[in-house]
Homo-oligomer: A and B are copies of this chain.
Amino acid sequence: MEQTSVSTARSPTRTAEILDVLRTDILETRLQPGTRLRFDELRRSYDAGISPLREALMHLASEGLVVSEERRGYRVAPVSEDDLREIAKLRGEFDALAIAESIRRGDELWEGRVIAAFHALQKRSKIGPDGEIDREWEGHHIRFHDALVSECGMPKLMGFRTILDLQARRYRRIAVHYLTAPRDDLAEHRAIRDAVLDRDITESGRLIRAHFMRTVDIILTRQLG
């Protein structure tokens, strides 16, 4: 499906490889928030030269997953309540905006994609047999939300959105147990789909904002209360 291109199986650059594995390690919190990332150590652990490491770290900094101080190296970005709250707020606002544009510009084909993505999501249950969030479900979930915004025609906004998605993923991992809290995801998603198909910008914005905020509220109230 993706690309099994017969001819040129383009080898990624070392930088791209390292970027990927480093990002995963941060998102899965194998590298804890705040950890210093020294080149010497990284060189050993990831078996890489300094240049691609530097470049990968720099890229991660632009995604907000690491922070750097001039001449003092890099650290895994810290986490905080306020940070999580802002991420959720902005995800709501950005998606509300992108959905509004998609409603204005999207045709029946787009509607079809939304319907199909919801259908696929609906068929799977969120929690797998092991009690963890189901990997497949997670994929469908992402694709449903992507479908909603897919006709907004704002590539820069989509770039910002991707960055926030990444950052949110890390918190999701940190708070994974709270995320299995009882919550009627399916009803929320169906309501969003219906508002979108009704081409109701105000309502879909309200729902998508609430959708993102609910997640963070659940995490934070559980962790504090």
Residues on A facing B (Cβ under 8 Å): 12-13, 16, 51, 54-55, 58-59, 62, 64, 70-71, 82, 86-87, 89-90, 93, 97, 153-157, 160, 164
Contacts and interface: CB of A to CB of B under 8 A. Distances in A.
B51 A87 contact: no
Contact of A154 (B16, B58, B89, B153): B89
How many identical chains are in the complex?
2
A210 B153 CA distance: 20
A93 B86 contact: no
Nearest to A83: B156
Interface residues of A, dominant DSSP: helix
A36 to B, nearest CB: 19
A56 to B, nearest CB: 10
Contact of A13 (B16, B71, B90, B164): B71
Contact of A156 (B62, B71, B87): B87
Contact of A62 (B12, B59, B71): B59
Contacts of A51: 51, 54
Given A16-B70, A71-B13, A156 B55 contact: no
